Chains A and B, each alone.
Chain A
């Protein structure tokens, strides 16, 4: 049982980081399907940074910085120049694939994977198993995201940009600056999510995020753009992931479990289990 819970949490943690990032971006009104690319860039950077310095903490910090820079491209394109956020997201996901593979070849000299990367010492919770410190950071981030979004002036303004940007501008605030903040935060958080994958498995492999950014996006929608709900969705989707690995001996095919998150998201989006209403000005310019 403990083992199952631990496995579930390990799968859910990177999703939680990316999903929180997705919430910040989308709540500010900028569609973010580039979570996948941001995670991948974060994963590569932590591998390279830790490889160079030997310190996972330094690697993680570099990963966050590069994640912010990478998200900066999305922000410049979509917020500054008001270009289409979906096209920009697709381009960024392709760019992340190209940059990380180019990077792996230049950094490690071989094509498919990195050298072995040291991770963090796990913290023990006695009978509940032991977890990477990033798991606790993830929990913290969910709480902080909730507090920031719903109990601070910044959060109120950020959400207002996603609902009614004109009203925000009428109060004299800069919609552009707030949206920049939303997108850059999403880059930082998604990068940590990607970094977790590397620090957990101790290797970077090409396109290792394997669609997790999109699952995180699904969790954002499934959780109706709310931090605790979305984190719950990540746990649920993580559980589907655990099942998938353990159904080998049973008669239930793992591929059919794999599609559960996607099907659930489509059902929710169609309004069957309580309507998922996106922020009103999501994807609209000022």
Chain B
């Protein structure tokens, strides 16, 4: 009975939301002149057909694990961080700047320093709205949105004027030293082709998720964050400092989001490229929702979204359906999820 109730309240809304949004996607595919069955097969089954393809799913999932965790930690503290886009942007800039400015350091040390500086930059960028909320009561949602735009404009300014690779039309920095580039998994795993972009960031993402799980559930600060999210009044009465929890959890959230910047600069582009982000910060919200803000659940939710975006590319290659259909499916899934959760919750409340 208890198991059934867990299923109803945890997984039923998710399965409902996903099936309805996929159905709508199928309908759209039909309108676009393609058989829904072909679309579903391309989107879901074919993507899991080969190890190579599965590795692409994991590659797509990597940034979403980071942003999903970042949003989830905010939610756990009762805060809404929609500023991941800005935090990962300053994180990427800090990564590239540190890697280029301190390139004389020995490689392992330099790698560590770049990661720390990215997390610091993203952490400060995230902590500012947390502080503004603690100090002035200014809502973090508006401030994180504003800071997304501020991040993009100021970083682009800095790159264009001080770090741009000479002679290039595109706004991007020079390449970072070879020694600190993240090794690709294809160099350890024989079944992946050499060109496969999956690299150790994915392992790093899994590690961060596990650490965050332990932090939230086994540490005092994690307990304080959870308590602040569940019942702020009780938390304050119990002597937990509200301002410290707000600033710390937003800072931690920003620091984790900044790892997407590290992933892109050290693991993919090997340089900072203006405008490299493609909405991971916003999809991170969807990932966190789907995972119910559970750090380990984030891994699976991110993989599901990674699957969809891999499928989107195949759709464009093999069918007449534009890949944007995936964006529609994803956003509808969020909407159906929040609505079906409310409906089931209300159902439970009225029954007693």
Contacts and interface: CB of A to CB of B under 8 A. Distances in A.
Interface of A: 31, 33, 73, 76-77, 81-84, 86-88, 90-95, 97-99, 101-102, 105-106, 211, 214, 217-218, 221, 253, 255-256, 258-259, 262-263, 265-266, 269-271, 278
Given A94-B283, A259-B153, 6 more contacts: A76-B339, A98-B331, A255-B153, A262-B146, A262-B147, A263-B150
Given A214-B145, A218-B146, A255-B153, A95 B332 contact: yes
Contacts of B92: none
Given A105-B324, A256-B154, A265 B335 contact: no
What interface size band does chain B fall in? 35 or more
A262 B334 contact: no
A204 B280 CA distance: 25
B334 A87 contact: yes
Contact of B138 (A88, A92, A266): A266
Interface of B: 28, 32, 80, 82, 132, 135-136, 138-139, 141-143, 145-147, 149-150, 153-154, 156-157, 160-161, 279, 282-283, 285-286, 289, 322, 324-328, 330-332, 334-335, 338-339, 341-343
Given A86-B82, A256-B157, A271-B136, A98 B325 contact: yes
Contacts, number: 132
A269 B143 CA distance: 8
A278 B32 CA distance: 44
Contacts of A258: 149, 153
Contacts of B327: 94-95, 97-98, 101
A100 to B, nearest CB: 8
A217 B142 contact: yes
Nearest to A101: B324
Q: Tell me the dominant secondary structure on chain B's binding face.
A: helix
B32 A106 contact: yes
Contact of B132 (A82, A83, A266): A266
B157 A253 contact: yes
6 contacts: A83-B342, A94-B327, A102-B322, A102-B328, A214-B149, A266-B132
The CB with the most chain A CB atoms within 10 A, among B146, B156, B328, B330, is that of B146
A93 B281 CA distance: 13
| 10 closest A-B pairs by CB | A98-B327, A255-B157, A95-B331, A98-B328, A91-B334, A94-B331, A83-B338, A262-B146, A101-B324, A269-B138
Contacts of A271: 136, 138
Q: Tell me the dominant secondary structure on chain A's binding face.
A: helix
Contact of B335 (A77, A86, A102): A77
Contacts of B142: 217-218, 221, 265-266, 269
Contacts of A106: 32, 322
Contact of B324 (A87, A92, A98): A98
Contacts of B324: 97-99, 101-102, 105
Nearest to A102: B324
Given A77-B338, A77-B339, A90-B334, A101 B138 contact: no
Contacts of B343: 81
A278 B146 contact: no
B31 to A, nearest CB: 8
A217 B145 contact: yes
A82 B340 CA distance: 11
A95 B335 contact: yes
A222 B70 CA distance: 28
Contacts of A259: 149-150, 153-154
Contact of B328 (A33, A81, A95, A266): A95
Contacts of B145: 33, 214, 217
A106 B29 CA distance: 11
Given A97-B327, A271-B136, A88 B335 contact: yes
